Structure 1
Amino acid sequence: MVAVRIYVEGGGDTRRAQEPLRIGFGKLFARVLGERARPKVITCGSRKAAFDDFKRGLKSHPDALCILLVDSEEPVKPGTSTWDHVLRREGDQWLRPDGVSDEQLHLMVQAMEAWLVTDPDALAAYYKKGFRRDALPQQKDVEQVAKRDLYDAMERATRDSKTKGKYAKSHAFELIGLVDPHKVRAASAHAARLFNLLAARAEAGPP
C-alpha cells in the first residue's frame, strides 16, 4: 500500500493542542480499517494552515498519497467537486495544486459536528446523565444541517450533562474517535467517499 497521509483542519495552534484531535481521528480510521494499514494523521490547526501543510506534504512526501480533510463550512452544491467548492468559496479560493486528483480533497460537510451527531449512542455514553437525544438534528442526511445549527444542537443536547458539561470543541477531539463509522457513513456521503477511498487503498496492498 502506498503510504497515506491525511492533513486535517483543526486542533488548535500548537502541536500539543492538536494531539487529542490527531489521536481521535486515528481511532476513527482504525475503526474504519480494522487490522488493515492505516493512514498517518497530521492535524494542522487553522483551515489555511491545513491547506499549506498539505501543499508542503506533496513536495516532501512525493511517494505518498497526501489527502486534505477540511470542513466545507457551507452546503456543497450538487454536482460540484470538492476542489470546485473550495475554489468558489469566499475565504478560500484555493487552486488545486498541479498533479493533484479529486480524491486528494475531502470535506466534513458542513462541519465535524455533522459526523458526531450521527451516533447519539456514543454521545449519550460520553455525556451520560442529562444528555438530551431529542435535541439532536433529526435529518437522515446530516450534510443538509447548517454549521451553526449543528453547534446549537450539540449545546442544547449537552447543557444539562452532569459529567462533561455543555459541549466544547475539545469534546469533539475525543468524540470523533468514539462514533461508529458505519453510522457516519450512512448519514454522510462525503464521509463514505473518504472511508471508501481509505479501504480501497488498504485493500490494494503494496504497490
Structure 2
Amino acid sequence: MKLFVEGGGDSTALKSECREGFKTFITKAGITKRPRIVACGSRSDAYNDFCTALNNNEEALLLVDSEENVDASSQEGEDRTKWLPWKHLNQRKGDEWEKPKGSEDTDCHLMVQVMETWFLADRAALAAFFGNGFKQEKLPATERPIEGISKVDVYRALKVATADCRTKAQYGKGAHSFKILATLDPAKVTSASAWAARFVDTLKKKMG
C-alpha cells in the first residue's frame, strides 16, 4: 500500500521530513504495519501520482488538504465510510478532479482544511515545540470546531502566536510543519477532526 501525500515541496530534505512526520504520526496512532509514504510536493502531483499508481494496479491512498470548508453534502451522516471526498475535490475550483477509475471514496482523504489545522487540536505540543514566547491565547478559541477555521485564519493564528518565539522563530511551513506533525498526539487530532479520524480508521482497516 502506498500513501500519496500532499507536501514536501520540491526539496529532497523537506520531502524526507514530510515522510518522517507522517510515519511518526501514523505509528503513534497505533498503526504498526504502515503504508509506504510518498511525499509528492504539490496537491496536483499527489493526485497524478495516485492515478498513476492505480493505473499500475497498485494499492494506494491519497491524502490532501481540503483547502476550504467541505460542503455538508460531502459529509452526510455518522458513517464516515460513506463520505464523498471525491465530490468535494471535483467541485472545488482549482482542482476539479475526476474520481479515478477503480478508486473508491475510502481511498481519498482530506486534511480539513489544511495539515496545520491538526496542530490546533494539540496545543500542548505546539507550546512544547516553540517554548518561550509562544502565545497560546492568540490561537482560535478552543471551543471553535477546528475544521471550520479557514486556511488563512489557521496560518495567521500560528504566525501571531509564534511571533515572539526566539528558539524556533516565527512559524514557517518549511522550517516547522513536519517536525510539529511528528510531535502531535493522534488521539487529540482524531477527537477534534472527524476527517482525521476517518483517515486513521481507514488505515487501520486497510493495513490490518
TM-score by length of 1: 0.91
Counterparts of 1:1-207 in structure 2, within 5 Å, are 4-34=1-31, 36-60=32-56, 62-64=57-59, 66-80=60-74, 81-138=84-141, 139-170=143-174, 171-203=176-208
Where does structure 1 lack aligned partners over 5 or more consecutive residues?
Answer: none
Shift of 1:121: 0.8
SS at match of 1:10: coil
Runs of 4 or more above 6 Å deviation: none
1:3-28 per-position Cα deviation (integer Å, ceiling 9, x unaligned):
x2110011111433311111101100
Query: Cα offset for 1:63?
Result: 4.5
Matched AA of 1:135: K
Q: 1:202 to 1:33 in 2, by over 3 A?
A: farther
Amino acid at match of 1:195: V
Shift of 1:153: 0.6
What is the percent sequence identity of the aligned residues?
A: 40
CA RMSD, 1 decimal? 1.2
Q: What residue ranges of structure 2 are gaps of 5+ in the alignment?
A: 75-83
The one-character-per-residue Cα deviations of 1:118-173 (angstroms, maximum 9, x if unpaired) are 11111111100011111112244210000000001101111111210100002011
Aligned partners of 2:54 and 2:102 also within 8 Å:
no
Q: Any idea what SS the aligned residue of 1:7 has?
A: strand
Task: Assess, with a 3 A threshold, how the Cα gap between structure 1 residues 14 and 163 changes in structure 2: closer, same or farther.
Answer: closer
CA distance in 2, matches of 1:124, 1:72: 26
Count of residue correspondences: 197
